[in-house]
Amino acid sequence: MKRFDTIEQYGARTAIYTDRAYSYDEMIEAADAIVREVGDRTLVFCLCANNKESIFGYVGFLRGRIVPLLLDATIHSEQLQHLIDRYRPTHIWANREHHQLEQEMDTTYEYGDYALFACPQAIEHDLHDELALLLTTSGSTGSPKLVRLSYDNLFHNAQSIVSYLEIGENDRPITTLPMNYSYGLSIINSHLVSGATIVVTEAPIMQKEFWQLCRDQQVTTFGGVPFVYEMLHRLKFETMELPSLTKLTQAGGKLNPALAEVFTDLCERKGMQFFMMYGQTEATARMSYLPPHQNREKAGSIGIAIPGGELTLRSEAGEQISSPNLVGELIYHGANVSLGYAEALPDLASGNVNQGMLQTGDLAYMDEDGYFFIVGRMKRMIKMHGNRISLDEVEHLLRVRGHECVCTGTDDELYVYTLQDDRAAIKQVIKEMMHTRGVTILQIDAIPRNESGKILYSALPKRELVTT
């Protein structure tokens, strides 16, 4: 299995292109220098953006057996402090001008725009031997619940992705997703172990520079969550001349059927492959994909398990479902299933709780040909622009700020219900803490409940009731 400790073999090849080309040799040198400053195996935070510093730091931490928690560089200061207090990292790798860290901590090393901040009152961490990396479970509610990933998890998943996407050293992906997001990270991992060149940019896809870079750097592939595809459609992607592009991937939630058809057609016309895929952070990233030649016939399907993985269905009674067209919980087995969660410091010493088996919480059925279709979700989770959000966590986030609310919703549509006249204040909290859109806040007279007091989420109104 290819890991980051074998990427020396790519030597003078270009690892990343950003302001200029950086070879694998140069990346490794920079990455290992950062880690030498950190020292022995310990816990660090890495504040990620799509820049060379974040990637080099990440590569170095994995090579040097330092465990990083990857966070978005724009994380709200209150949430960052909360995580620091809870997990007590010894160092934070972040922009050297980070206003919050700059005031409180000294830096011990600098590379590019980043610096290594040394945390005061560092503790000695008890880290499980297999633990490689921590990712957050929810992009934006700031939940301290983390997914514990092992070295085997990361590189098994990368290897599997390399095999079904046929990634080679001539591939040139461009960044379209945050690297602290499991899908974005899987693109980086699978391409670095292949000796490919990653074009790294902060420019979003609706900026001219992004497309200029795609052309100039002969980009061959990129990935996107459903929202990215909505924007591509709006940008009239079909009219763009991008001859180097050969492969598009999609994950992070179900693409709406009309859009899936549009991209299936246009990719076919342009001679590109279009991969629709399914996964969760709890499985490192990827669990299934739809082989592109089935995009039409198996429209709406999450496809088949990735190489090395297995998908099965389990009935409510806990029995395996083997007949087609029966709905049950989707279960995944594979070497990429995370070790487990961490909710507090002692959890970082825990071993492999999941034992290679993940209950996805998604409800699905399998057709006669063995293709899986998701029909619903067991947990109160929605995806907002590709980021998973727990409705209970949103309720909690509002409750601790004095707003007693009930939340419901579907993907990209979050509804918040309040009994008080505090909609403006709620809106402000959501905007500051979650930085999200597509939120409707409604004031209602009473929360509908059943006889045993359980909230009837389905009975909540989806629009303003006219009060007379």
Partner 1 sequence: MNKIELYKTAFINGLDVVADATFEEMQLGVTKEWDSIGHMTLIAELEDAFDVYIDSEWITEFNTYQSGIDLLKRLGVDFGQ
Binding site for partner 1 (CB under 8 A): 202-208, 210-211, 227, 230-231, 234-237, 239-240, 385, 431, 435, 437
Other Cβ atoms closer than 10 A to 266: 17
Cβ 377 to partner 1 shortest distance, Å: 22
Crossing angle of helices 391-399 and 423-434, in 10° steps, is 120
Q: Are 11 and 24 in contact (CB under 8 A)?
A: yes
Looking at the Cβ atoms of 41 and 431, the one nearer to partner 1 is 431
Residue 53 C-beta-side C-alpha neighbours within 13 Å:
19
Looking at the Cβ atoms of 437 and 462, the one nearer to partner 1 is 437
Looking at the Cβ atoms of 14 and 387, the one nearer to partner 1 is 387
Which residue is associated with the tokens 């061959």? 220
Cβ 437 to partner 1 shortest distance, Å: 5
Residue 410's beta-bridge partner residues? Answer: 413
Looking at the Cβ atoms of 196 and 228, the one nearer to partner 1 is 228
Q: Are 71 and 45 in contact (CB under 8 A)?
A: yes
Cβ 394 to partner 1 shortest distance, Å: 17
Looking at the Cβ atoms of 240 and 456, the one nearer to partner 1 is 240
CA 300 to centroid of chain Cα atoms: 21
Distance CA 48, CA 55 (A): 8
Q: Are 154 and 132 in contact (CB under 8 A)?
A: yes
- DSSP characters over 354-418: STTEEEEEEEEEE-TTS-EEEEEESSSEEEETTEEEEHHHHHHHHHTTT--EEEEEETTEEEEEE
Cβ 439 to partner 1 shortest distance, Å: 10
Q: Say if residue 359 is exposed, middle or buried (CB neighbours under 10 Å; 0-12, 13-18, 19+).
A: middle
Sheet holding 273-279, edge to edge: 221-224, 247-250, 273-279, 286-290, 304-305
Cβ 125 to partner 1 shortest distance, Å: 33
Cβ 102 to partner 1 shortest distance, Å: 19
Cβ 309 to partner 1 shortest distance, Å: 31
Cβ 95 to partner 1 shortest distance, Å: 14
By C-alpha distance, which of 333, 331, 279, 290 is closest to 308?
Answer: 333
Looking at the Cβ atoms of 362 and 412, the one nearer to partner 1 is 412
Looking at the Cβ atoms of 111 and 237, the one nearer to partner 1 is 237
Cβ 236 to partner 1 shortest distance, Å: 4
Sheet holding 91-95, edge to edge: 106-111, 114-118, 91-95, 43-48, 67-72, 131-136, 146-150, 340-342
Looking at the Cβ atoms of 178 and 195, the one nearer to partner 1 is 178
Q: Are 67 and 43 in contact (CB under 8 A)?
A: yes
Which residue is associated with the tokens 């860290």? 101
Which residue is associated with the tokens 């919480």? 361
Q: Are 299 and 260 in contact (CB under 8 A)?
A: yes
Using DSSP bridges, classify how beta strands 405-410 and 439-443 pair: parallel, antiparallel or unpaired. Answer: unpaired
Looking at the Cβ atoms of 237 and 415, the one nearer to partner 1 is 237
Cβ 71 to partner 1 shortest distance, Å: 17
Task: Quote the Cα angle for 274-280-282, to 5°.
Answer: 150
Looking at the Cβ atoms of 13 and 76, the one nearer to partner 1 is 76
Looking at the Cβ atoms of 206 and 357, the one nearer to partner 1 is 206
